[in-house]
Amino acid sequence: MNVELIQYTPDPEKVVAAAARLCYSADPVPELMEKLTDEKIAGFVRKLNSMGHLSPFEHVSFQFSIDGVSRALSHQLVRHRIASYSQRSQRYVKEAGFEFVTPPSIRRNPEALVRFEKVMQTLQEEYQELLKVAPAEDARYVLPNACTTSLMATFNARSLLNFFEHRTCMRAQWEIRQMAEKMLQLVQEVAPNLFAEAGPTCVTQGVCHEGAMSCGRIKTLKNRTKE
């Protein structure tokens, strides 16, 4: 898996702070931008986060290049609808000799790994045979969820906070959680105040919404707090 932050709104925290300040000022945005010091910017962003006033966060966006992830992951990713996606097409790009993602649980099990790799090899061979007698858009029907893909994804900061809340949770599927953690690390490097409170609710709010399906992490965090 390779995840890169390829582009983002310049001075994202300053833009968010100016958008928030505009609501309570008669000054035009350029003047507001000039008056904002680093200290004021950080203060505004922290205050917005604490108040849950996140609409100004929608003015900044972050664009990611994502490679080497499975189609199983991409099917989950597009459930986050307030974002823009472009994905390599299996209709126009032939997947002969396709690479695939092997889940850790299968890697750890020698018997399961042999079976998994055998199935992948069979599918690769059958796909290549189908390409000889059928168009790629139809041959792709035999390709597995494990087949790797490449995507470009663009989120605004508010949508990213929602994404991180759900996908860095320990209940999230392992592959998309790994990708979300990489994305979070990247945006925290360029906008630390915007994403200072990003993460699962057990960490950021001290609550878990998973009910009976909770991973139990919230109890550990609460015990640490008491200690």
pLDDT band at 223 (very low <50, low <70, confident <90, very high): low
Give 175-194 pLDDT, tens digit per residue: 999 999 999 999 999 999 99
177 is catalytic: no
Residue 27 backbone phi and psi in degrees, to 5: -75, 145
Could you say which architecture CATH assigns to the domain 2-85+148-200? Answer: 2-Layer Sandwich (3.30)
Structure tokens, 48 = 């917005």
Q: Return the percentage of the chain with pLDDT > 70, whole number.
A: 96
- Residue 222 reports pLDDT greater than 70: no
- Residue 225 reports pLDDT greater than 60: no
Give 67-101 pLDDT, tens digit per residue: 999 999 999 999 999 999 999 999 999 999 999 99
- Residue 205 reports pLDDT greater than 80: yes
Dihedral sign (CA 108, 112, 114, 116) = negative
Least confident of 24-28, 120-124, 178-182, 201-205: 24-28
How much is the pLDDT for 130?
A: 97
Active site residue: 167, 171, 217, 224, which one?
167
Mean residue pLDDT across the chain: 92
State the binding site for dUMP: 76-79, 87-91, 140, 167
State the binding site for FAD: 55, 79-81, 87, 156-158, 162
In the chain, the amino acid numbered 3 is V
- Residue 28 reports pLDDT greater than 80: no
Beta strands in the chain (DSSP E): 2-8, 61-70, 83-87, 148-156
Structure tokens, 224 = 């640490």
Give CA–CA dist 180/168, Å, rounded: 6
Dihedral sign (CA 106, 99, 165, 39) = positive
Tell whether pTM > 0.85. yes
Structure tokens, 163 = 């994404």
pLDDT band at 52 (very low <50, low <70, confident <90, very high): confident
Q: How many CB atoms lie within 10 A of CB 74?
A: 20
Give 126-154 pLDDT, tens digit per residue: 999 999 999 999 999 999 999 999 999 99
Structure tokens, 68 = 């080497």
pLDDT band at 221 (very low <50, low <70, confident <90, very high): low
Region 149-160: what's the mean pLDDT? 98
How much is the pLDDT for 203?
A: 85
State the binding site: 55, 76-81, 87-91, 140, 156-158, 162, 167
